[in-house]
């Protein structure tokens, strides 16, 4: 691991001068573009061959244009870092200049896709912390050397947030302390994350889409035609379990591969400058920096399969960090699927607490919440069974569908009870702790000084049961965290306890 000198920010180039991106980008950028456009390029080429016309040459023209685009971007891109801002300008026909004020920089991420790693390069993404999904708040230096990326990350974060006096460098101490490192034996938790099923579904959808565009039918292939012939002759009572087992095997393999590729060498370290540094990845590596000053809490998530094997994952509740999808959502990940005890432990470490607030004893919710959950769960399944029975009477659905829903009724009742059992909230050592969910049980510990407001929801049925849902709004994470189906009077008193005098001014004294 490369040791960084965080005692002082690395010096700027004096005077600041415009610098080029690394020359290897001439190879990397076109290669990335060609890989991204590989499927449509191949589709156009195959379509041209099948129709014996000039369409096949369009794919070659596309490759040439992508290469020209990459070379043009490298030839015109320049960046520089001044005392006030980071500037990037590029473009041949449309000249574009972008600048990010250094005092607004909130995130500096380093990513190295496999194309970058072949050339020893990285991409530096500088963000200002806006939580919308736009790209206007980001500035990306793609590609620079790994050493230069680390130097700029230290420079920009040190300049953006000076280290507190008590966190200054002490001679003889390491520049960063490791909080957690993923044990490779934890890979066996991967099949319980259900990510493999999502991967299989996405891959099947993509293949089906492009096959449809190319007018390729499944029975055009002998092996698929033979498989469909077997399916047509076997009983559904045999085919359904066989298909479920096959899907389970494929999903397990996909989830394990995905876990290894995404979280290889996953580690969280704390730097003396007051920054949490997260690194992970096998083929594509990623490095994320989170300022502790923007950390508002931690969330521990346990999906139902993970709970069966006592697993969970931890995510940081951070202001100014993107909460989009995929790679962006992973930016706040503190621990992937692992033993849930480790998830609670890493939560305590990053919050600098001796005991983890996410394991605090919670106040249970009223019995009315239990009735509400079981009623909703059972009623939903019975309604589906009724719809399926009507479909059977109209010869739209087979007979066994509505039987399946009836068989699921006890499970839905248990699910409703489990959802109630997961409910709870408390105020522990300055943290609002709330837990809910069954299929995905979420426990969040949110610093009370991070709560900027409250919202109180009560539906018609909740009002009849004397329940409300309390939402703590915050400028971090998802923006709001729920205390679901709490007693009305208790919920308001709890809100006043978490943030004194914020709610009380809107309440009327009881007569």
- Whether 437 and 478 have beta carbons less than 8 Å apart is answered as no
- Residue 43's Cα: distance from chain center in Å? 31
The parts of the chain modelled with pLDDT lower than 50 are 1-8, 161-170, 326-327, 330
Q: What is the model's pLDDT at position 163?
A: 47
Long-range interactions of 105-108: CB distance < 8 A, separation 24+: 105/156, 105/157, 105/159, 105/160, 106/160, 106/291, 106/294, 106/320, 106/321, 107/288, 107/289, 107/290, 107/320, 107/321, 107/331, 108/152, 108/153, 108/156, 108/157, 108/289
Q: What is the model's pLDDT at position 40?
A: 65
Tens of pLDDT, residue by residue over 468-496, are: 999 999 988 888 999 999 998 889 889 98
Q: What is the model's pLDDT at position 344?
A: 94
Give the burial class of 250: count Cβ atoms within 10 A of its Cβ; 0-12 exposed, 13-18 middle, 19 or more buried.
middle
pTM (2 d.p.): 0.78
DSSP classification of residue 182: -
The tokens describing 473, both together, are 């709004």
Domain ranges of the chain: 19-157, 175-359, 367-421, 423-510
- Whether 218 and 272 have beta carbons less than 8 Å apart is answered as no
Q: What is the model's pLDDT at position 472?
A: 93
Same fold, 19-157 and 423-510: yes
Q: What is the model's pLDDT at position 59?
A: 66
Half-sphere exposure of 260 (CA within 13 A, CB side): 8
d(CA 448, CA 431): 5
- CATH 2.30.29 holds for 423-510: yes
Q: What is the model's pLDDT at position 335?
A: 93
The tokens describing 22, both together, are 């690394």
Q: How many residues does the chain have?
A: 511
Residue 251 CB contacts under 8 Å (≥ 6 apart), including other chains: 191, 194, 196, 197, 199, 200
CATH of 19-157, one of 2.60.40, 1.10.760, 2.30.29, 3.10.520: 2.30.29
Measuring CA to CA, which residue among 496, 133, 161, 481 is closest to residue 297? 481
d(CA 50, CA 214): 10
Q: What is the model's pLDDT at position 6?
A: 42
d(CA 106, CA 294): 9
Q: What is the model's pLDDT at position 327?
A: 46
């Amino acid at each position: 691991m490369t040791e960084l000198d965080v005692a002082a920010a690395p010096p700027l180039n004096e005077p600041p001068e415009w610098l080029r991106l690394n020359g290897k980008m001439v190879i990397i950028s076109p290669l990335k573009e060609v890989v991204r456009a590989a499927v449509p390029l191949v589709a156009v080429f195959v379509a041209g061959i099948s129709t014996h016309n000039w369409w096949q040459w369009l794919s070659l023209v596309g490759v040439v244009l992508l290469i020209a685009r990459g070379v043009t971007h490298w030839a015109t891109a320049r960046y520089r870092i001044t005392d006030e801002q980071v500037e990037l300008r590029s473009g041949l026909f449309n000249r574009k200049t972008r600048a990010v004020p250094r005092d607004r920089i909130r995130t500096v991420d380093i990513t190295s896709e496999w194309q970058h790693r072949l050339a020893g390069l990285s991409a530096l993404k500088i963000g200002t912390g806006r939580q919308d999904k736009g790209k206007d708040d980001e500035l990306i230096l793609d590609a620079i050397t790994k050493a230069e990326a680390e130097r700029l990350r230290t420079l920009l974060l040190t300049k953006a947030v000076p280290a507190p006096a008590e966190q200054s460098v002490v001679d003889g101490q390491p520049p960063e302390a490791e909080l957690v490192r993923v044990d490779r034996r934890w890979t066996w938790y991967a099949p319980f994350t259900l990510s493999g099923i999502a991967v299989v579904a996405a891959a099947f959808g993509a293949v089906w889409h492009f096959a449809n565009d190319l007018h390729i039918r499944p029975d055009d292939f002998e092996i698929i035609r033979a498989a469909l012939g077997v399916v047509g002759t076997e009983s559904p009572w045999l085919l359904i379990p066989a298909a479920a087992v096959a899907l389970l095997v494929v999903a397990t393999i996909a989830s394990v591969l995905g876990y290894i590729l995404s979280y290889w060498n996953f580690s969280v370290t704390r730097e003396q400058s007051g920054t949490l540094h997260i690194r992970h990845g096998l083929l594509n590596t990623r490095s994320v920096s989170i300022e502790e000053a923007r950390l508002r809490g931690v969330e521990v998530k346990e999906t139902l399969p993970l709970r069966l094997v006592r697993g969970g994952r931890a995510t940081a509740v951070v202001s100014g960090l993107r909460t989009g999808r995929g790679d962006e959502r992973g930016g706040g990940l503190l621990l992937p699927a692992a033993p849930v005890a480790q998830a609670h432990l890493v939560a305590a470490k990053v919050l600098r607490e001796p005991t983890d607030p996410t394991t605090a004893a919670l106040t249970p919710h009223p019995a009315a919440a239990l009735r509400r959950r079981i009623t909703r769960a059972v009623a939903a399944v019975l309604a589906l069974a009724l719809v399926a029975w009507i479909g059977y009477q109209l010869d739209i659905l087979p007979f066994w569908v509505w039987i399946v829903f009836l068989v699921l009724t006890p499970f839905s009742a248990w699910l409703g009870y489990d959802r109630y059992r997961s409910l709870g909230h408390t105020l522990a050592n300055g943290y609002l702790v709330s837990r809910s969910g069954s299929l995905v049980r979420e426990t969040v510990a949110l610093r009370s000084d991070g709560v900027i407001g409250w919202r109180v929801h009560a539906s018609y049925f909740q009002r009849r049961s004397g329940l409300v849902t309390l939402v703590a709004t915050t400028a971090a994470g998802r923006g709001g965290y729920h205390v679901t189906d709490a007693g009305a009077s208790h919920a308001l008193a709890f809100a006043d306890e978490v943030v004194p005098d914020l709610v009380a001014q809107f309440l009327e004294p009881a007569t």
